[in-house]
Amino acid sequence: MKAWRVHNNGEPREVMRLEDIPDPEPGAGEVLVRVRAAGVNFPDALMCRGEYQVRPPFPFTPGVELCGDVLAVGEGTPEGDAPETGSRVIAQPALPMGGFAETTLVAAASVRKAPEALDDAESAALHIGYQTGWFGLHRRARLQRGETLLVHAAAGGVGSAAVQLGKAAGARVIGVVGGKAKADTARELGCDVVVDRREDDIVAAVKEATGGRGADVVYDPVGGDAYAKSVKCIAFEGRIVVVGFASGAVPTPGLNHALIKNYSVLGLHWGLYNTKDPAAVQACHEELTALAADGQVKPLISERLPLEECAGAVQRVFDGTTTGRVVIQP
């Protein structure tokens, strides 16, 4: 079967190689899956570059979320974790065997029923971006109906999910994007106000849109300048959710400033909930499935590409030129 593999660190388009390898064998706690769709996430590029918190051993296959069919369950897998053969599921691949392949292994405990309301690409994309958005906005920031939510990289993967979840929660959403095309996308996603970081003054725009009060919650997958601007337009008792550093710059918060303005800086590592509170991850999946069935959320799939085009797609996500989720369909 065909799988993309990385043998050394570097730029995704240079180090990802499409190879013919034997089908993987599921061990205890693992499930063999035929991949229908695998979402490209920013961490795939970080893993290629050796800059992610997870460093799979070489050679590894990137691809951290998928929708697929269960082909076989590894011997010794606890009965409660064993999904039905043939079922259509979403899951997190068991790295170093990731999702950019014709078949792969997933952790049995991560297997969940694919939402019936969504197609394969949308189902794959309902996972990491939306779970991260849900935990960030609800569990960490306790977003309330009527509050103002500021989302950086609002047309991106996790950003577009946060916009939709913010609207579903009854918040007023301000989206920050880079460029005119992404501004159109952010409007289509439901942002009430759109700020183009290349043209507009983010701080002035947020203050104007909130009558000088500022944003109650900031969802920040970018870091760097986005964080620096956020602390200048955060409301009294506001909450800034630190989601990622797509800009490559990790901010160093001024705690004296947080004290003076009464705001909170909240870290979010969604993956940790899989071990610290798996029941909450399942409850979130059920909530997201219901929101999708209701039409309140629908992942924005900007590109559906064959397996052969995967390396270029991972590179483009890293370069910041994509919108929504790019999905590989082997």
Ligand X SMILES: NC(=O)c1ccc[n+]([C@@H]2O[C@H](COP(=O)([O-])OP(=O)(O)OC[C@H]3O[C@@H](n4cnc5c(N)ncnc54)[C@H](OP(=O)(O)O)[C@@H]3O)[C@@H](O)[C@H]2O)c1
Residues forming the site for ligand X (CB under 6 A): 41-43, 128-129, 132, 153, 155-159, 177-178, 182, 197, 221-222, 243-248, 268-271, 317, 320, 322
Q: How far is the CB of 41 from ligand X (least distance, A)?
A: 4
Q: How far is the CB of 43 from ligand X (least distance, A)?
A: 5
Q: How far is the CB of 202 from ligand X (least distance, A)?
A: 11
Identify the H or E element spanning 261: helix 255-261
Helix axes 42-49, 310-319, angle to 10 degrees: 100
Q: Which is nearer to ligand X, 26 or 244 (CB)?
A: 244
Q: Which is nearer to ligand X, 68 or 136 (CB)?
A: 136
Please list, residue by residue across 47-62, b when 16 or more beta carbons sit within 10 angstroms of its beta carbon and e when fewer do: bbeeebeeebeeebbb
Q: How far is the CB of 260 from ligand X (least distance, A)?
A: 27
Q: Which is nearer to ligand X, 16 or 268 (CB)?
A: 268
Neighbours of 212 (CB within 10 A): 10
Rounded Cα distance, 162 and 328, in Å: 22
Rounded Cα distance, 57 and 49, in Å: 13
3-state DSSP helix/strand/coil % of the chain, to nearest 5: 35, 25, 40
Rounded Cα distance, 13 and 58, in Å: 17
Q: How far is the CB of 182 from ligand X (least distance, A)?
A: 5
Q: Which is nearer to ligand X, 24 or 157 (CB)?
A: 157
Rounded Cα distance, 328 and 181, in Å: 23
161 within 8 A of 219, measured Cβ to Cβ: no
Q: Which is nearer to ligand X, 180 or 257 (CB)?
A: 180
The distance from CA 304 to its chain's CA centroid, rounded to whole angstroms, is 17
Q: How far is the CB of 8 from ligand X (least distance, A)?
A: 21
Q: Which is nearer to ligand X, 90 or 155 (CB)?
A: 155
Q: Which is nearer to ligand X, 70 or 281 (CB)?
A: 281
Count of helix runs (H) and strand runs (E) in the chain: 12, 15
159: helix, strand or coil = helix
Q: How far is the CB of 321 from ligand X (least distance, A)?
A: 7
Task: Count CA atoms closer than 13 A to 313's CA, side-chain side.
Answer: 26
